[in-house]
Copies of this chain bind each other. A is one copy, B any other.
């Protein structure tokens, strides 16, 4: 029987409203949690009814019965994260609610705050014995000692130094097994499917190396702009906002060696090895026109809202295979996808050789699925034409597969860390990001709604046919 108290720190923020409360609602609806309570904490003066009401519009077709249940089990606590003395009160508050709802004490702390608060909050949770380092040990089926798990929202720091400091602080106080560094892309069905598909299908492994693969594109294209997040975004930019986390996590799942088992420890071992061996080669940076007039953005800002990167992996499997990453705000479409381009075949035809190589495409958002592009014969002729074999995920399973946060919160409840990022992975990622000396690169302007700056083809010595 699954039971837990969800404690959201930063309960009045956007993430809580748009994603976390809807995810908890879904966990109840889908009977993934049997008994629960929800405590929202924030410095703001508000109440739980207001918080929940603000979130309601992000739940499609909410059912009154389930919504009522959520309301009846939800509470608010006004907490200044920096006032240590308030945490004793907070502790009592949590206990009381647990008692009221006959909960045995399992807790999920969700730090839905900026990373600069992580250390202070963690320290206070620890010093006030709200969470102890030993709560993870009792995560066994046949004992009654409750567990506590702490979820850290991304970004985890803003560079290698800050990430190391946070890691150092939280790992001293808690056990790594209690620490869940979230990257919500790892909760997306097709992302969590990458490793499973690679290693349970015999046909992929022989092809998955520099002998057969020409290059790999990872694309995270956004149609939306910075949406009022000027202050945050202007400090971070595209590379720190999505490359360091989502895109490098996808890259590591695509590139990793075969783990001993498809379990958290082994998956993270092989992912970390990839991130460690990543080398930055080149970048084309861009900024959409009008960015510097956005609210809370420095009018002389050089922050990139677009980045195309060339990376390589210095290991036996991938030596010489470029990984092209492309991301941006205000582009022509919303799409996250991976495109594995195989090498050209030696042409055996006297006429009509294949014009392009084979591609394996993994579409992550907005549509889901695997696509294999092959050459085939056009009937009645010997002409080759590209044809597509596809496995459309949404067609088979419907479009209503759970959202990432629902999957990830369920993984926290189950204690499955395979979809969360380990401290070493975080640090290797930041190390790579820090090696990109952004001020050495020109910032090219691009039109809103375009494919990014025209200069994108200067990324490599050869022409890259971008696939999205």
Chain A residues in the interface with B (C-beta under 8 A): 30, 189, 192-193, 196-197, 199-203, 205-207, 211-212, 258-263, 342-345, 347-350, 353-354, 357-358, 360, 370, 372, 374-380, 382, 384, 387-391, 393, 396-397, 401-402, 407
Contacts and interface: CB of A to CB of B under 8 A. Distances in A.
B197 A376 contact: yes
A379 B189 contact: yes
Given A201-B358, A202-B344, A350-B261, A196 B389 contact: no
A377 B197 contact: yes
A375 B206 contact: no
Contacts of A358: 201-203
Copies of this subunit:
2
Contacts of A376: 193, 196-197, 370, 391, 393
B387 A396 contact: yes
Contacts of A30: 380
B212 A375 contact: no
B192 A377 contact: yes
Contacts of A211: 206
Nearest to A380: B402
Contact of A349 (B261, B347, B349, B372): B261
Contacts of A396: 387
Nearest to A206: B206
B262 A349 contact: yes
Contact of A390 (B354, B389, B393): B389
Given A389-B390, A391-B387, A202 B193 contact: no
A397 B382 contact: no
Closest 10 CB pairs of A and B: A379-B401, A389-B391, A389-B389, A202-B342, A193-B377, A200-B375, A202-B345, A196-B377, A262-B348, A206-B206
A425 to B, nearest CB: 20
Contact of A372 (B263, B345, B350, B389): B389
A435 B387 CA distance: 41
A190 to B, nearest CB: 9
Contacts of A260: 348
Q: From A343, A347, A374, name the one whose CB has the most chain B CB atoms within 10 angstroms.
A: A374
Contacts of A389: 370, 372, 389-391
Contacts of A360: 203
Given A202-B357, A203-B358, A375 B197 contact: yes
Nearest to A402: B380
Contacts of A382: 196
Contacts of A407: 380
A390 B342 CA distance: 19
A263 B350 CA distance: 8
Contacts of A200: 345, 347-349, 353-354, 375, 384
B201 A212 contact: no
A136 B396 CA distance: 56
A207 B208 CA distance: 12
Given A30-B380, A201-B354, A259-B348, 8 more contacts: A193-B376, A196-B382, A197-B374, A205-B345, A262-B349, A370-B376, A372-B372, A387-B391
A370 B387 CA distance: 10
10 contacts: A197-B377, A199-B348, A201-B358, A202-B212, A202-B344, A206-B212, A262-B349, A370-B376, A374-B391, A379-B402
B203 A207 contact: yes
A192 B384 CA distance: 12
A390 B371 CA distance: 9
Contacts of A372: 203, 372, 389
A385 B461 CA distance: 42
A206 B206 CA distance: 7
Q: From A211, A370, A379, A389, name the one whose CB has the most chain B CB atoms within 10 angstroms.
A: A379
